[in-house]
Structure 1
């Protein structure tokens, strides 16, 4: 989750955005003017700033320009305004804003803009490297299976821990890469469901006959984890 600075001179707007974004798991800092925003930005180095345009001391566009001129736009900035125009939005984008939200801000638009801004701000992997964040595949109680997806420093390869580590080479024909992944995918579900074809079919969304054919085509060993169907 991200640390987000909300800058708005209206108490109600600050409270509303803080409540919504906190519920999403983000850490929220609040500022009601440019002076507080500068101090917060320096102290906490936020991952994202939601910045109101019309403020009594220094307006949001001026603060955005100031940060840009000082090389302090290390984070994405989303501008907000209840009196914005297309020209205002274009100007904000020209000076470094990543998006513009018109008040009143709907929940859907807010969450979409925040999500997109954070994705764009995420570190980019080196060319030829595929990076996955760690996911817990034991969350549904599968005993003895730990399957984190691991980022790899080697170009064009993905390392995936199943019951034993497997490496998927991406520098190969698409069909071969897809078959290798699908085989590991079905082996994982077979192990988790103790070989139950009925439960694997339900989990993967395939009809049983189609599932049998698919597993045979991929060369999956159906006897290894089978304890009953």
Structure 2
């Protein structure tokens, strides 16, 4: 995950962006003006900067020019503004900004812009080693019979194999000889634990993936007794 510096003079904007990006697992540093932004950039060397254009002391475009002129623009910068124009966006891009977000910023646009900016600056991944480990076991082509139903009465084998960027795969066995509610709760708990692990603990992505509102998702996980602490990344939840 990345270290992101959020520069905005509005407390509400800083708090909102910090919450969203922390939930995605990023480390967030906040600054409310250009002076704090300069100090934070020197201290933490962020992987990405979200920079507001309209600030009371020094505006964002001026700070962007300053960093560029001093050779300090070593990270992607996404400009933000609630009063932006096409000319402003073009000017910011000319001086090194990688993207321009217009307020109010939607969750989807924010995450997409951050992801794209970080991908552009990420180091290339090494090529996979040729003799890789087998992921799927292929059936013997000589076997044509189906397994008997008796083999499934004691338990239902469920492959939740997919997977995400971390190559996650999960296999659970669910006992069928139990009350429906217990069997359903056991499945749902495993289902949500799988998606939490797959999304590295990001409640935002799990909510999108499962089609649940975040508030409903939190209540559901608490009801099922899912341990959220082991899935959290860097304090994001």
Give your verdict on TM over 0.5: yes
Cα RMSD for the two superposed structures: 2.9
Corresponding residue number in structure 2 for 1:60: 60
1:190 alignment partner, SS class: coil
How far apart, in 1, do the equivalents of 2:18 and 2:160 lie?
40
How far apart, in 1, do the equivalents of 2:26 and 2:64 lie?
23
Aligned 1:1-229 pairs, distance under 5 A: 1-123=1-123, 125=124, 131=125, 151=126, 158-160=128-130, 162-163=132-133, 187-190=134-137
How far apart, in 2, do the equivalents of 1:203 and 1:19 lie?
30
2:28 alignment partner, SS class: strand
- Pairs aligned (count): 149
1:189 alignment partner, SS class: coil
Taking structure 1 as reference, are residues 114 and 160 closer, same or farther at Cα in structure 2, changes over 3 Å only? same
1:105 alignment partner, SS class: coil
For residue 188 of structure 1, report the CA deviation from its aligned partner.
2.6
For residue 122 of structure 1, report the CA deviation from its aligned partner.
1.1
How far apart, in 2, do the equivalents of 1:190 and 1:101 lie?
47
**Structure 2: where are the runs of 5+ without partners?**
148-156, 163-237
How far apart, in 1, do the equivalents of 2:160 and 2:109 lie?
34
2:137 alignment partner, SS class: helix
**Structure 1 runs, 4 residues or longer, greater than 2 Å off:** 160-163, 201-204
For residue 100 of structure 1, report the CA deviation from its aligned partner.
0.1
For residue 162 of structure 1, report the CA deviation from its aligned partner.
3.3
For residue 159 of structure 1, report the CA deviation from its aligned partner.
1.1
Taking structure 1 as reference, are residues 203 and 81 closer, same or farther at Cα in structure 2, changes over 3 Å only? closer
Structure 2 length as normaliser, TM-score? 0.58
CA distances 1:18-45 after superposition (whole Å, capped 9, x unpaired): 0000000000000000000000000000
**Structure 1: where are the runs of 5+ without partners?**
126-130, 132-150, 153-157, 164-186, 205-229
For residue 121 of structure 1, report the CA deviation from its aligned partner.
1.1
How far apart, in 2, do the equivalents of 1:202 and 1:16 lie?
34
CA distances 1:126-179 after superposition (whole Å, capped 9, x unpaired): xxxxx3xxxxxxxxxxxxxxxxxxx35xxxxx414534xxxxxxxxxxxxxxxx
1:30 alignment partner, SS class: strand
Structure 1 length as normaliser, TM-score? 0.59
